[in-house]
């Protein structure tokens, strides 16, 4: 099942800088592990924003929820999920 997911990150300015850096490093490792496994199929930066649009290829809604819920930056994100279906004009 394919999903487009938009993540808008908003880390509080008063978060301890070491905690901030450590969380971002964990987020990167977690994301890259899922990219290697194929579940996180694409990640694109939205130009000019601390946001990304990602494509996930996962077996179920529950698996997508588990992945997103466990993002280290999840507490500092707004997440919008769009399920994708095959377009009839796609070749």
Find all residues with CB under 8 Å of 61, minimum gap 6, and list them. Answer: 1
Measured distance CA(2)–CA(87) in Å, rounded: 12
Using CB under 6 A, count the residues that bind ligand MUC: 7
Find the helix or strand (DSSP H, E) in which 36 lies. helix 17-37
Give the residue nearest to ligand MUC (CB).
52
| Residues 6-45: x where in contact with ligand MUC by CB under 6 A, - otherwise, as a string | -x-x-----------------xx--x--------------
Closest distance to ligand MUC from the beta carbon of 27 (Å): 4
């Amino acid at each position: 099942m394919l999903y487009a997911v938009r993540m808008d990150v908003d880390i509080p300015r008063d978060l301890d800088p070491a905690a901030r850096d450590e969380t971002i490093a964990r987020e990167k490792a977690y994301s890259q592990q899922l990219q290697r496994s194929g579940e996180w199929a694409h990640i694109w930066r939205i130009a000019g924003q601390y946001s990304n649009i990602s494509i996930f290829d996962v077996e179920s809604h529950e698996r997508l929820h588990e992945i997103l819920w466990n993002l280290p930056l999840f507490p500092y994100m707004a997440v919008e999920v769009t399920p994708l279906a095959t377009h009839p004009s796609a070749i």
